[in-house]
């Protein structure tokens, strides 16, 4: 029988995390095939918040945070708690006390498909938290859940050890096996976008791919232009 708490969870090489942290979540989502971005309901408590690290997954029943406490007791520096709270907004799953513990341990941040509270204090701590929103109600601590198992958070499957990168645009999760191969693609995309922005600033505004795409969609006939 598989235990509810998996203790030997994989973690990414910290060097890969540091490299990935250089990129916007949007860049990583694009080179990942426009996949891995959590639903937009999961957003930073403050726009300046950013995080990057290895996922440590937690599944809870709505409004109960017992297993989050277990995950904090197991967490290592560089982890990101990724919590499947079922999108519930009727009670906060974490607040200042738990976030302070996470910050002390070195947990890189928290992603909750659910609510948080004490948002002003968390802002003053300058600790990155991404959640569905806030609610002053506190949670219960009674219901079993799971730590370290694959979860669904914001409509995306997340496994412990997957890369999590988040910023003002939201949260993206990359399969741990794909991270190393995607980093060169992310660098190239940043270079290509910088080149295109420079071209636009010089007056070359029309997208070079637009005419062909319109023809392929049947909007323009062959030889026809806008």
3-state secondary structure of 221: coil
Buried b (16+ CB within 10 A) or exposed e, 108-147: bbbbbbbbbbbbeebeeeebbbbbbbbbeeebeeeeebbb
CB 29 within 8 A of CB 37: yes
> Tell me, what's the pLDDT at 15?
97
Give the Cα-Cα-Cα angle 7, 37, 123 (nearest 5 degrees): 75
Low-confidence ranges of the chain (pLDDT < 50): none
3-state secondary structure of 27: helix
- Does residue 150 come out as left (phi exceeding 0), alpha (psi in the -120 to 50 range) or beta? beta
E strand segments, the chain: 43-44, 51-59, 79-94, 109-116, 129-131, 133-134, 146-147, 151-153, 156-158, 163-167, 170-174
Superfamily of domain covering 14-178: Ribonuclease E inhibitor RraA/RraA-like (3.50.30.40)
% of the chain surpassing 70 pLDDT: 100
> Tell me, what's the pLDDT at 64?
98
The three state secondary structure string of 85-137 is EEEEEEEEEECHHHHHHHHHHCCCEEEEEEEECCHHHHHHHCCCEEECEECCC
**What is the pTM assigned to this prediction?**
0.94
């Amino acid at each position: 029988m598989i235990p509810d708490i998996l203790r030997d969870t994989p973690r990414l090489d910290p060097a890969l995390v540091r490299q990935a942290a250089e990129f916007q979540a949007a860049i990583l989502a694009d080179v990942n095939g426009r996949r891995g971005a959590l639903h937009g309901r999961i957003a930073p408590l403050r726009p300046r918040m950013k995080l990057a690290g290895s996922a440590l997954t937690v599944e809870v029943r709505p409004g109960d945070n017992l297993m989050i406490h277990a995950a904090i007791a197991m967490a290592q520096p560089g982890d990101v708690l990724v919590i499947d709270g079922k999108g519930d907004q009727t009670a906060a799953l974490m607040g200042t006390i738990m976030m302070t513990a996470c910050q002390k341990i070195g947990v890189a941040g928290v992603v909750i498909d659910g609510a948080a509270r004490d948002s002003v204090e968390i802002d003053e701590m300058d600790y990155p938290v991404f959640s569905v929103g806030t609610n002053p109600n506190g949670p219960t601590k009674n219901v079993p859940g799971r730590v370290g198992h694959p979860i669904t958070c914001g409509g995306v499957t997340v496994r412990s050890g997957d890369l999590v990168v988040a910023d003002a645009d939201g949260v993206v999760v990359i399969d741990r096996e794909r991270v190393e191969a995607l980093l060169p693609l992310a660098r190239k995309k940043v270079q290509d976008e910088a080149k295109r922005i420079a071209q636009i600033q010089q007056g070359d505004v029309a997208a070079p791919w637009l005419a062909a795409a319109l023809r392929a969609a049947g909007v323009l006939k062959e030889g026809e232009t806008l």
